[in-house]
Amino acid sequence: MMTFSIRHIFRYLLSCLFLVSVLISSPVMAADDSQSLQEVSQLLIDGDFDEKSRALSRLAETSHPRTSEILQLLSDSQLYYHKKEKQLYIITEYDKGKVAKDLAGNEQVITKKRDYKKVTLNNKMRGVINRIKAELGLNADNPQQREAAVRDLLKDITPDTVTTLKARFFIEESKKVREMINIALAINDLKSSDDVLLSNAIEQLDGSLEQESRSALMTFVSTTESPQLKKQAQIVLKGIEDKVQYYGWLETFYFGLSLGSVLVLAGIGLAITFGVMGVINMAHGELIMIGAYTTYVIQLLMPDHIEWSILVAIPAAFVVSGLVGIGIERGVIRFLYGRPLETLLATFGISLILQQAVRSVFSPLNRSVETPDWMSGLIQINPVFSLTLSRLYIILFCLIVFVALLLVLKKTALGLQVRAVSQNRAMARAMGIRSNRVDALTFGLGSGVAGIAGVALSQLTNVGPNMGQAYIIDSFMVVVFGGVGNLWGTLVAGLSLGVANKVLEPWAGAVLAKVLMLIFIILFIQKRPRGLFPQRGRAAEG
């Protein structure tokens, strides 16, 4: 019992001693930090570029807690000094009446802009700043940050950088970070004169997709005098170029899928109305435009909730465009069934009316719709291949809309009636189906889907009165190529045309690629007039 008490007393005394030492040393450390920051501040104000660079390096060596902040302020051109006070200030908006804040956090209003001068940098100093930031990033807790720091160091490998990387390699736990460090050291070893070291460096860079790796290998191939090492480097470089080309094709395919998804969204509503009623709706593009403007209005009504506005805009655009479509069908189209030419002319006139109505309400100027943060950015697969989030969401959105429409047409009473009318209108009427009601609801459904397409397009381009005209021809191409009234045909046709268009663009150009696609579809229709997936039923056969 006595031993237990003495042990506890001993631990208590050690704790007290540690606490006292911390209390004594903290003011000293704070004073040292303050003094070092003051010295750096004076050099940033009065020193030349070399002195500024040395001052920043010294600040980093002392592990000052504000090193990263000061480096970032310098990079963003937000660090100024007062000419008379000789004191640093943080200024985010350099204008009269704005706020200047010193490094201690004290604020003052800018009364005269000429009293403040920006801390200037040169290219060498920017390189020093980037190197220090990267070296600081090597000690981050997050492995992704450490990997990014090593990648930043690849741009300017110095003897100090090599020493830092070697020291980090022995304590690094992340496999990816260790691989990046090996690549950085291999790039540095390509400057060596030792053939064994050079051979190992080339082998280490085999398969690396970093731009710095390729540049280093190309430089080595053009300067080395050793035939054996040159051949080895050329083989490695060829393998890397093949991988880059492979990922380039993947990127083209991904862009094609995203374009194809837009074409599917634009054409799938037309496939429903054209397939069921045989109506050539030239106002389909304007229904897409109405959906896009609905998204714009929703964002105006929800300025503080942009992240959620897109989710509200989807059902809103469906309802608004759907009601407009029902109004068009009830007011005009129902009097023109069986007269396709007159229907075409009437809907073309309606498209002009809708365009002018939008110009009168919103003005002829294009409007921009803000993209939510969760739809921005990209997924970096490797240094040469990334997936843009906005395109990925468009592809997923297209598939969701397609599946939803498929379920509506296959699992609901309306879907059963739509299929019956599309396959044999006379027989459907004889069975008691009110074809007029089905026509109105079908046209409303197709118009609502066009409105949803407008929501998607608003995230890719500006919203304007003429935006629908850019997609009306593409919509008809998709519908005719896939097979009139067939959803699966529309999906396959849209995605196929999108991928083919993106494959042709690099060597034919955007305009010629579309012309070639149109020629292909004309020739295809000559061979298969009913498209890839022809509609079934007696009406189709007739």
Final residue of a domain: which of 107, 137, 167?
137
CATH assignment of the domain containing 436? 1.10.3470
Domain assignment of residue 212, yes or no: yes
Averaged over 83-102, what is the pLDDT?
A: 85
Residues 217, 346, single domain; the answer is no
Give the chain's domain count.
3
Most confident of 106-120, 227-241, 335-349, 460-474: 227-241
Domain assignment of residue 52, yes or no: yes
For residue 77, what pLDDT band results from cuts at 50, 70 and 90?
Answer: confident
Q: Which residues of 300-314 are buried (b: 16+ CB within 10 A; e: fewer)?
A: eeeeeeeeebbebbb
DSSP state, 534? P
Averaged over 129-144, what is the pLDDT?
A: 79
pLDDT of residue 538: 43
Q: Which two tokens stand for residue 506?
A: 């690099």
Residues 276, 329, single domain; the answer is yes
**Residue in the block written with tokens 């409303």:** 444
First to last CA, the chain: 105
Handedness of CA 326, 331, 335, 339 (dihedral sign): negative
Amino acid in the structure at residue 169: F
Averaged over 61-65, what is the pLDDT?
A: 72
Residues 216, 291, single domain; the answer is no
Residues 184, 76, single domain; the answer is no
pLDDT higher than 70, residue 173:
yes
Task: Give the DSSP H or E segment for 15.
Answer: helix 2-46
Residues 450, 498, single domain; the answer is yes
Final residue of a domain: which of 137, 156, 188?
137
Sequence-separated (6 or more) residues with CB below 8 Å from residue 115: 82, 83, 84
Domain assignment of residue 267, yes or no: yes
Final residue of a domain: which of 137, 172, 204?
137
Give the tens place of pLDDT for each residue, 431-472: 888 877 888 888 888 899 999 999 988 888 889 898 888 888
Residues 253, 158, single domain; the answer is no
Q: Higher model confidence: residue 199 or residue 124? A: 199
Residues 122, 149, single domain; the answer is no
Residues 282, 430, single domain; the answer is yes
> How many CB atoms are closer than 10 A to CB 339?
11
Residues 457, 460: Cα–Cα separation, whole Å = 5
pLDDT higher than 90, residue 249:
yes
Domain assignment of residue 232, yes or no: no
Domain assignment of residue 297, yes or no: yes
Domain assignment of residue 515, yes or no: yes
Residues 72, 128, single domain; the answer is yes
Domain assignment of residue 188, yes or no: yes
pLDDT higher than 80, residue 196:
yes
Give the tens place of pLDDT for each residue, 362-418: 888 888 888 888 888 888 888 889 998 888 999 999 999 999 988 988 888 888 887
For residue 535, what pLDDT band results from cuts at 50, 70 and 90?
Answer: low
Residues 259, 131, single domain; the answer is no
Sequence-separated (6 or more) residues with CB below 8 Å from residue 82: 89, 100, 115, 116
Residues 55, 202, single domain; the answer is no
Handedness of CA 11, 17, 23, 25 (dihedral sign): negative
Give the tens place of pLDDT for each residue, 215-244: 999 999 998 888 999 999 999 999 999 999
Q: Which domain holds residue 186?
A: 140-225
Residues 53, 183, single domain; the answer is no
- Mean of the per-residue pLDDT values of the chain: 83
Averaged over 37-55, what is the pLDDT?
A: 78
With vertex at residue 233, the alpha carbon angle to CA 229 and CA 234, rounded to the nearest 5 degrees, is: 115
Closest to 449 measured CA to CA, from 494, 388, 498, 390: 494
pLDDT of residue 20: 42
For residue 34, what pLDDT band results from cuts at 50, 70 and 90?
Answer: low
Averaged over 486-502, what is the pLDDT?
A: 89
3-class secondary-structure state, position 370 = coil
Q: Which residues of 51-62 are buried (b: 16+ CB within 10 A; e: fewer)?
A: ebbebbbebbee
Closest to 132 measured CA to CA, from 76, 187, 185, 58: 58
Q: Which two tokens stand for residue 340?
A: 């396709």
Domain assignment of residue 11, yes or no: no
Averaged over 317-338, what is the pLDDT?
A: 89
With vertex at residue 451, the alpha carbon angle to CA 446 and CA 457, rounded to the nearest 5 degrees, is: 125
Q: Higher model confidence: residue 130 or residue 157? A: 157
Residues 102, 255: Cα–Cα separation, whole Å = 48
What percent of the chain has pLDDT above 70? Answer: 91
pLDDT higher than 60, residue 528:
yes
